[in-house]
Amino acid sequence: MLKRTIILSSILASSLFANSIELNLANETIKRVAPSSIQEVLSFNSSIKNSTKSIVNISTKKRVQNKQNPMNQMFKDPFFRQFFGNQFGKNFKQDRVQKSLGSGVILSKDGYIVTNSHVVENADEVIVTFGENSKEYNAKIIGTDKDSDLAVIKIDEKNLNPIKIGKSKSLLVGDVVFAIGNPFGVGQTVTQGIISALNKNKVGINKYENFIQTDASINPGNSGGALIDSRGTLIGINSAIMTRSGGNNGVGFAIPVSMVKNIVKKLVESGKVTRGYLGVSIDDVSKELKSVYNHNEGALILNIAKDTPAFKYNLKRGDLVYKVNDQKIKDASEFSRIIGSFKPNEKITLHVERNKKDIKVQIVLGSRDSLNIVSTSSPVLQGLYLSEITNEKANMFRIQQGTKGVLITDVKAESVAEKVGFQAGDIIIQIENIEINNLDNVQVALTKYNKQQKRVYLNRYGRILVSVIK
């Protein structure tokens, strides 16, 4: 079976500041119609014409180190640097400017625009243009949320044309929809299709998935553009496609407008999204397990992490959460989304089936701010990319078998970590008084010593060094 590739147009960024926003809400009264005569031509031009004025083109620039240069790879080899020194080879590094294209949707007259977070990821410069107009606007990144793949940017312009905002609850499979964006950088384009499915999750694109699936053609560059209904009302933000060839195969995904409104307001108000945290591993109720529980739907708790709200309030392995407050839970994905929609320190009531009995558990949620700090794809400690020491990594960096710690695979160019002196190939063995054997240990250390200077102990080719970084 061929692997399906998720196509994303690139680039995300850091959050700044904002105050408030008033959304242009659409009329909630909806009437669906069909042609009544063979003399009629079905056209949506008058319905969507105004919405096209709310779609912008986004181009980004990012200066990146050319890691493909074979000389760069050679000079990173710890064995090579042992003989020629750590500074040798830096003159061979060549930076390049990476450019990317995407789309965005105007939300307010005073210049707030929503797009995908991956469109503006790590961008040094974000440029906005309108349709065929060549005038360029420098955009400020207000906030990004990688977990939902949404971001808000702002341009200094007044009297813009904000799109009308719809409601996710009104959507039905089979509704006619239009995708508006800038595919392949060819300029503004409108494609038509229907809603193929709703509430799609487990696609593997975002952490919190509740996608609208559509066969309206979505291609690279469409990311961040609008999915609208036949009234011209925004119902989703185009995010990704599934493809075998790199082109559109009629399976596209858009983030529903209900999530867009929630995330946008948080980003505009505070520049970031804070989510409630429970501390459990969960799964769906399988066919085999349905005979064991009275409730056939919900989120089954498989594990509970120590020192978390779930641990503190005595949730148990095997508990089936079938309702949060008054909202029924269909599956594990929905449970994750709902918990993530609450704020830290917010009190909620879980309706739980335990040993065939229904109980209520009141819980005060924790914060996700200190979670997911450590991953192989995101830098920590102001510029370090980390990995556990696998056999492959040990061979690549010539690490002796049995060496303990966490490997620094790369150091972000011009970062604080690079200036301090961290190097690819270094092994972190301790942070303050916490011994480091895996990424979880790093996460614990960074959480405990979050906002203070930290002593980081390194194993560099057998020598033990210590560096200090915040």
Planar angle of CA 119, 123, 126, nearest 5 degrees: 75
Residues whose CB falls within 8 Å of the CB of residue 41, separated by 6 or more in sequence, listed in order = none
- Residue 216's nearest CA partner among 234, 238, 201 is 238
Active site residues: 118, 149, 223
Tokens of 331: 């599956």
Contact present, 315 and 334 (Cβ < 8 Å): no
Separation CA 350–CA 344 (nearest Å): 16
Pairing assessment for the beta strands 55-65 and 234-243 based on DSSP bridges: unpaired
Which residues are registered as beta bridge partners of 260?
none
- Residue 226's nearest CA partner among 51, 28, 59, 9 is 51
Q: How many CA atoms lie within 13 A of 46 on its CB side?
A: 3
Residues whose CB falls within 8 Å of the CB of residue 22, separated by 6 or more in sequence, listed in order = 108
Separation CA 426–CA 386 (nearest Å): 10
Q: How far is CA 116 from CA 151, 226, 232, 252, in A?
A: 5, 11, 20, 14
Reduced to 3 states (helix: H, G, I; strand: E, B; else coil), residue 367 is strand
